[in-house]
């Protein structure tokens, strides 16, 4: 992880320092910026930023503006860099605006630094920035993203495309409580306009196909699910 660069953008120095300390402790190289314009300068100057953690409310250029400028510059190889937005707002409209702008994750302040670190690790695996994670293994469950196969205790099981994506998302976020809204955002990408009960249906089928190992997908009543071997 020593070569993985993460750009942390927040106009509050205390917040940047908090995030930086946790990331550095886990082996990441951290770059910092105090406003949106500085963030763009650092991003284009460095050329190899693997992920951006970006506050929404900032001077000069807000987080939404930074995301849009990066995503719209398709001539630049890093235009699809994964971006986690940080905000004190919790309104669904603000969250949707972030995703529509092109953000990959959305974390509301206040948050646990350890939870943010887990999100960072998960999104780097999911986007391929961490090339060592093509195969996920937990509790006798082996998911091979390259071969698109899943085995449980050595026995291959047949999953639909969405069931495979759902299990991938669960395994990449081991130990993290995932709301139905988060699952819809990351597995269905808000393209699905029905209600969140479709998640419950897919989880039920997934558990059934996994046999006794289906118990590792825990239900968090009133919220969602957690993959907990």
Query: pTM higher than 0.75 for the full model?
Result: no
What fold, for 134-227? Arc Repressor Mutant, subunit A (1.10.10)
pLDDT at 33 over 50: yes
pLDDT tens digits for 94-111?
A: 667 777 788 888 888 888
User: Binning pLDDT at 50, 70 and 90, where does residue 36 land?
Assistant: very high
Strand partners, 107: 86
What's the mean pLDDT when you consider all of the chain?
85
Residue 108's pLDDT is what? 83
pLDDT tens digits for 143-171?
A: 988 788 999 999 999 998 889 989 999 99
pLDDT at 4 over 80: yes
Residue 24's pLDDT is what? 85
Sketch the domain layout of the chain as residue ranges: 5-126, 134-227
User: Binning pLDDT at 50, 70 and 90, where does residue 52 land?
Assistant: very high
User: Binning pLDDT at 50, 70 and 90, where does residue 130 land?
Assistant: low
User: Is it true that domain 5-126 has CATH number 3.40.50.1980?
Assistant: no
């Amino acid at each position: 992880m020593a070569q993985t660069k993460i750009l942390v953008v927040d106009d509050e120095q205390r917040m940047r320092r908090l995030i930086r300390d946790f990331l550095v402790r886990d082996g990441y190289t951290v770059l910092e910026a105090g406003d949106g314009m500085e963030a763009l300068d650092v991003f284009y100057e460095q050329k190899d930023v693997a992920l951006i953690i970006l506050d929404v409310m900032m001077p000069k250029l807000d987080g939404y503006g930074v995301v849009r400028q990066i995503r719209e510059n398709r001539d630049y190889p890093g235009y699809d860099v994964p971006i986690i937005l940080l905000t004190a707002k919790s309104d669904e409209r603000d969250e949707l605006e972030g995703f529509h702008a092109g953000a990959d994750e959305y974390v509301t302040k206040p948050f646990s630094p350890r939870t943010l670190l887990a999100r960072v690790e998960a999104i780097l695996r999911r986007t391929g920035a961490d090339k060592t994670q093509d195969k996920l293994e937990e509790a006798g469950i082996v998911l091979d993203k390259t071969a698109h196969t899943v085995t449980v205790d050595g026995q291959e099981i047949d999953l639909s495309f969405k069931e495979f994506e759902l299990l991938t998302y669960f395994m990449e976020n081991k130990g993290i409580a995932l709301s139905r809204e988060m699952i819809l955002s990351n597995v269905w990408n808000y393209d699905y306009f029905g209600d969140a009960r479709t998640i419950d249906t897919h989880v039920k089928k997934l558990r059934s196909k996994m046999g006794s190992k289906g118990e590792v997908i825990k239900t968090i009543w009133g919220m969602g699910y957690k993959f907990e071997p």
